Structure 1
């Protein structure tokens, strides 16, 4: 069984400047008007890919709080195989996977870029990219230190990944 090496709150107190910097990056896409439910889906998908248990649980709980359907939260891991996701969500999820898995191939393909560019303006795509970058940073901390996934009652509002 895995155990935490350092907990989330310890990270916050050890490196408040790093915490604040990543937190600020995490918030820009939502402040710019990117749909918060969509952001939770991409954060959940990146966290699944990166194996960050803390962030997977956090973004499930945050998605629930924001009204993301249970079907979408449960099926985001197989989003290509099910009809629950809109074209815009599919483009965002494909973009998220391409950016999260940069080292696994040829980077971001022209097809993935074209699909994302059809669904998002240049500005929206830049903000979406900032959200993917931010969750990948949180995932590196959470997975490296094996942060304990938040409990249902205390998770929402206690972290900002």
Structure 2
């Protein structure tokens, strides 16, 4: 039988609140520099998918729907490279988000940096980067604590 996991957010409340404040600052910076809610939610959802964070996927699917992302687009997010439903700007943001999430593999290669930089402005690049960094921190915290995601049925 597995022991219950320590709930990091509850046991170190001040640290978790600092992470929340950091995330709010990241979101404000991203919005201030031209990133809309739709793009921001796609980035956060894609990072959460890669990390396998069901808790954050639930949160960001709900937010993505509110930001106008369709079910068709949500269904194709994992295959964004082969799908025609995302804009060039969204594709660049998704590529950068994936590179940040998988940074232990290749870092941010010059190829990715140049390709993404040819589409996103420097400020958009910075905003997407910080979004990926922030959501990756939340993913790790939720996964480590095995945060439960209950069924919405019945």
Q: TM-score of the superposition, structure 1-length normalised?
A: 0.82
The equivalent of 1:114 in structure 2 is: 114
The equivalent of 1:23 in structure 2 is: 20
1:39-74 superposed Cα distances (whole Å, 9 cap, x missing partner): 111111111111111011111111112221112211
Q: Contact between 1:45 and 1:77, CA under 8 Å: does it hold in 2? A: yes
Distance 1:74 1:116, change over 3 A: same
Gaps of at least 5 residues in structure 2 are none
The equivalent of 2:52 in structure 1 is: 51
The equivalent of 1:155 in structure 2 is: none
- Which portions of structure 1, spanning 4 or more consecutive aligned residues, are displaced by more than 4 angstroms? none
The equivalent of 1:5 in structure 2 is: 5
Highest RCO, 1 vs 2 (Cα 8 Å, sep ≥ 6): 1
Q: Which has the larger radius of gyration?
A: 2
Distance 1:59 1:117, change over 3 A: same
Alignment of 1:75-94 (within 5 A): 75-94=76-95
Give the stretch that moved more between structures: 62-71 or 39-48.
Answer: 62-71
Alignment of 1:10-159 (within 5 A): 10-32=7-29, 33=31, 34-104=35-105, 106-149=106-149
- Write the distance in 2 (CA, Å) between the matches of 1:150 and 1:55: 13
How far has the Cα of 1:147 moved from its partner?
Answer: 0.6
How far has the Cα of 1:35 moved from its partner?
Answer: 1.1
Distance 1:3 1:76, change over 3 A: farther
How far has the Cα of 1:90 moved from its partner?
Answer: 0.5
1:75-113 superposed Cα distances (whole Å, 9 cap, x missing partner): 111111110010000000000111110112x21121211
Number of residue pairs the alignment of both structures matches: 148
- Write the distance in 1 (CA, Å) between the matches of 2:73 and 2:148: 24
